[in-house]
């Protein structure tokens, strides 16, 4: 399963980001539920994205372009089973 997730991440970064830039999508979030992280990118110029922030785990965050609201990232991830 991990290999499939890596393939999806490569598709998102190598194939989708250039398409989004071409179409002038100003912000992109890459969400990885396994790593429990969110990367926020902002369009920098006309053809590339700049990483703005990487956040994760159970943080409470305000992320562009929705920084008017606070998000609880822990609500996005599957619950971790307690270790015996």
pLDDT of residue 3: 58
Residue 33: CA atoms inside 13 Å, Cβ hemisphere, count? 8
34 or 28, which is more confident? 28
pLDDT digits (tens, 9 = 90+) for 4-24: 666 878 888 889 999 999 999
Using the predicted structure, report yes or no on whether residue 2 has a pLDDT greater than 70.
Answer: no
Model pLDDT for residues 30-54, shown as the tens digit of each residue? 999 889 999 999 999 878 999 999 9
Q: What local confidence, expressed as pLDDT, does residue 81 receive? A: 75
Does the predicted TM-score (pTM) go above 0.85?
Answer: no
């Amino acid at each position: 399963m991990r290999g499939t997730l890596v393939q999806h991440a490569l598709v998102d970064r190598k194939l989708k980001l250039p398409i989004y830039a071409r179409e002038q999508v100003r912000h992109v979030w890459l969400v990885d539920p396994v790593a429990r992280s969110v990367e926020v990118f902002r369009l920098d110029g006309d053809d590339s994205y700049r990483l703005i922030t990487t956040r994760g785990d159970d943080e409470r965050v305000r992320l562009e372009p929705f920084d008017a609201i606070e998000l609880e990232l822990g609500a996005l991830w599957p619950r971790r089973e307690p270790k015996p």
